[in-house]
Amino acid sequence: MASINTNASAMTALQTLNTISKNMATTQSRISTGLRVAEASDNAAYWSIATSMKSDNKALSSVQDALGLGAGKLDTAYTGINEVIETVDKIKQKLVSARGASQEDQQKIQTEVEALQDHIVSVVGNSNYAGSNMLQDGTDVNVVASYNRTGTTVSVDQITITGADVQVLSEDGTTGIVSAIAADGWFDASGGAIADTAVDTMLGAVETALASLSEQASVLGAAKSRVDLQKDFVSKLSDAIDRGVGQLVDADMNEESARLSALQVQQQLGVQALSIANQNTQSILSLFR
């Protein structure tokens, strides 16, 4: 039946065009944003998961910053303690040379030892990073190592370095592993030649200090290795989360490009179909001529 009031073909063509236009808008949005799930209405479950994981990844970025700061402190302290060990080794060599030496030679050695003592104090005082001096403060250092989520429960793990385990010399020089060795007048030949027994006592103090310094260097070295490993892991974890989020919400650009081309063809055909449907009503006029 031909009707001028109802054009079913045109209505069908128009509905098809509306659907095509809506699909084109969706596809164009995905191409412009690169996201298949850009908001909760696109896929509530995926959007919620992706939003939480993106937030966690921002927290991991802060963890990486904290690990970088911790690594800087540990690197500085580790470099400093190794320099102290080398300096104490040099004092040891000077003491061996002083054993049985003449008073004149011992006085020369004393000058050299005092210079090495000053160097120890300088090294410890300068082993400072971002306001923290692990070799001198004697306070615990906590390095944020990870951010963990279990359901709605979150926790932050830390790597703790006990300050007392790595303190080499206090600021006033009265405490610490090398406090006696770095003290003024520890090696004093001004009143005459130093007896071999006195030199042997000093050598014993140096050996004790070296043993303790080696343990402290091991503590710092182990902590440094752990922080470096954690930095590497957190970086890989952050990348893995990014990939996981991408799999949930990213658009496949090849697929979207192909879909857009198909929709453009469908739109052109839809416009032609609507034009043909409208022409059918015009043919009714010929019946009245």
Q: Are residues 133 and 231 in the same domain?
A: yes
Given a contact cutoff of 8 angstroms between Cβ atoms, the answer to whether 53 and 241 are in contact is yes
Give the global pTM: 0.78
Over 60: is that where the pLDDT of 1 sits?
A: no
Count: domains in the chain? 2
Q: Are residues 185 and 262 in the same domain?
A: no
User: What CATH number is associated with residue 56?
Assistant: 1.20.1330.10
Q: Are residues 287 and 207 in the same domain?
A: no
Q: What is the DSSP string of the chain?
A: ---SS--HHHHHHHHHHHHHHHHHHHHHHHHHH-BS--STTT-HHHHHHHHHHHHHHHHHHHHHHHHHHHHHHHHHHHHHHHHHHHHHHHHHHHHHHHTT--HHHHHHHHHHHHHHHHHHHHHHHH--BTTB-HHHH---EEEEEEEEEETTEEEEEEEEE-HHHH----TTSSSSTTTTTTSTTSS--TTSPPPHHHHHHHHHHHHHHHHHHHHHHHHHHHHHHHHHHHHHHHHHHHHHHHHHHHHHHB--HHHHHHHHHHHHHHHHHHHHHHHHHHHHHHGGGGGG-
Q: Are residues 222 and 94 in the same domain?
A: yes
Over 70: is that where the pLDDT of 285 sits?
A: no
The pLDDT-based confidence of 272 (bands split at 50, 70, 90) is confident
Q: Are residues 179 and 280 in the same domain?
A: no
pLDDT tens profile 61-95: 999 999 999 999 999 999 999 999 999 999 999 99
Given phi > 0 = left and psi -120 to 50 = alpha, else beta, which region is 103? alpha
What pLDDT is attached to residue 27?
87
- 218 within some domain: yes
Name the token pair of 98.
């002083």
Q: Are residues 74 and 175 in the same domain?
A: yes
What pLDDT is attached to residue 119?
96
Over 80: is that where the pLDDT of 10 sits?
A: no
pLDDT tens profile 28-38: 888 988 899 99
- 285 within some domain: yes
Range with top average pLDDT, 79-93, 140-154, 260-274? 79-93
Q: Are residues 92 and 207 in the same domain?
A: yes
Q: Are residues 8 and 74 in the same domain?
A: no
Average per-residue pLDDT for the chain: 89
- Its domain, for residue 67, covers 44-248
What pLDDT is attached to residue 284?
64
Over 80: is that where the pLDDT of 7 sits?
A: no
- 39 within some domain: no
- 108 within some domain: yes
Closest CA to 167 of 204, 115, 213, 121: 213
Q: Are residues 172 and 201 in the same domain?
A: yes
- 56 within some domain: yes
Q: Are residues 19 and 159 in the same domain?
A: no
